[in-house]
Structure 1
């Protein structure tokens, strides 16, 4: 799977989808083709039952440096190049192209791990925020950079960022556009943890998760995604619904059987 212009490359091995932004000569900057590639790739993965975990990274030295310079030039004339991306309509909460490029990863039923090195700036950072887990190089550079260009983060960042770092820190990062290192990003909660080789660590973590029951993993993600967004009664009821569906299911029985037999489990994806 890949976009027509090869902006996004994907390889699926043993349930792990290795997804890479592929425009290294432009620091994986976002242009209409990249937006199209991100959305179409995410939606294709959502329909693939063999995918258990996604690892999202960038080819070359950077994750994504944000908008392509051509987009800034177009803005001088009041244009938004992202609007020219050719995408089918969406019935989800994210409707604008940039929002969909970031939110499509949050919408996946399976865990998404972002491996970040080099620059993750502006829209690039917002795409990373769509992941469930972010592993970052200590010397990576991250920034909510939009205000530097007279803009605001409009790719879901204003809604997602406060949940991760708190409203006050989100405001400080957004209003100053300051660049933080991967080390500070992890301290702030902007990223999960640091690693000298984020991609290697992300793939290792993905393989570990892919070895668990895919139905249990998806159920856990659904529950954790609603935590704090619904009232406790609704959240507790959802727990009981999910556990009721899992107990006695083929994969749950296999997890127990394999555990007692001290062997690797063989789970079904469907």
Structure 2
């Protein structure tokens, strides 16, 4: 992982930060590789129960650094499936959805284009009041191609997605909240996200990971598949040591002690 992305872990929560602050965390090749590396590293961290994704400096992510990408890019062909069904650029947004633990995005400043798509990969998104958003690609004569279309279909109405994409217009946090792109608005989104992550990290990690799998499956699966998946996940958890510990901790009015 490069210096463009940092990860600090404490109390089962990973604090992941985009660290190209001088460029408003705009995506150049190094930052793209850093984000992909962060996703890969988190995927193997069995002690992490929740991750918080944020950007240093004045913004979450201003989208593609057009000059940097045009001069060299990430070295990834659009048609090359380098990460399962995704290419590299799709993976840095879609990859957060595939992680076993929940991801909370803390967003401030701007989340334009690729930054908006990366944010959309999180399970929960908390934004500062003055944050500006945009599906920016048609401004440059392009289409969203960093997994945005696949991610947004579970967040906002089809006509809203079309209008925002066709116009490339900016919109604020209040509008993002109304449409479903943002979960809540907070004056200090990173502090709010870390507090929420601590709550999630205090739940049975097996149950939380199973719940994320169910909600990820829900985007595509039919009712029969989902009903079976609910039963399968529950049967795999019920009466396990962590599930029994959750019951005992509640009955004894104490903090639970879970094993990862």
TM-score by length of 2: 0.95
Where structure 2 has 5 or more consecutive residues not aligned to the other structure, the ranges are none
Provide closer, same or farther for how the CA distance between residues 61 and 250 of structure 1 changes in structure 2, counting only shifts above 3 A: same
**Is the Cα contact below 8 Å between 2:186 and 2:192 reproduced in 1?**
yes
| CA distance in structure 1 between the partners assigned to 2:161 and 2:152 by the alignment | 6
The answer on 1:36 being equivalent to 2:36 is no
2:154·2:219 contact (CA, 8 Å) conserved in 1? Answer: no
Instruction: Say yes or no: does 1:55 pair with 2:52.
Output: yes
Q: Distance in 1 between matches of 2:133 and 2:75?
A: 25
Where does residue 173 of structure 2 map in the other structure? 182
CA distance in 1, matches of 2:242, 2:42: 21
Q: Deviations over 1:43-68 (max 9, x none)?
A: 11110101100000000110000011
CA shift for structure 1 position 164: 1.0
Structure 2: distance between partners of 1:91 and 1:102 = 12
Map residues 52-131 of structure 1 onto 2, 5 A cutoff.
52-71=49-68, 73-74=70-71, 81-83=73-75, 90-94=82-86, 96-131=87-122
Q: 1:247 & 1:72 partners in 2: Cα distance?
A: 49
Is contact 1:143-1:178 (8 Å) kept?
yes
- Distance in 2 (CA, whole Å) between partners of 1:108 and 1:160 is 14
- Bigger mean CA deviation after superposition, 133-142 or 153-162: 153-162
What is the CA–CA distance in structure 1 between the aligned matches of 2:181 and 2:41, rounded to whole Å? 27
Contact between 2:82 and 2:88, CA under 8 Å: does it hold in 1? no
| 1-structure distance, mates of 2:60, 2:219 | 30
Q: How does the TM-score come out when normalised to structure 1? A: 0.92
Q: Is the 8 A contact 1:31 1:67 kept in 2?
A: yes
1:55, 1:115 within 8 Å by CA — same for their partners in 2?
yes
Do the aligned residues in 1 keep the contact of 2:83 with 2:91 (CA within 8 Å)? no
Cα deviation per residue 1:206-236 (whole Å; 9 max; x = unaligned)? 0000000000000111111112411111100
Offset from partner CA, 1:102-146 (integer Å, 9 cap, x none): 111111011000000001000011000110100011210010001
Flag the 1:198–1:91 CA change in 2: closer, same or farther, 3 A: closer
Q: Following TM superposition, by how much is the alpha carbon of 1:71 offset from its aligned partner in structure 2, in angstroms?
A: 3.8
Find runs of 4+ consecutive structure 1 residues off by over 4 angstroms.
Answer: none
Q: Matched residue pairs, number?
A: 258
Aligned to 1:261: 252
The residue aligned with 1:16 is 13
In the alignment, which residue of structure 1 is the partner of 2:123?
Answer: 132
Matched, 1:251 2:248: no
| Aligned-pair CA distance for 1:91 | 4.7
CA contact (8 A) 1:162 1:169 kept: no
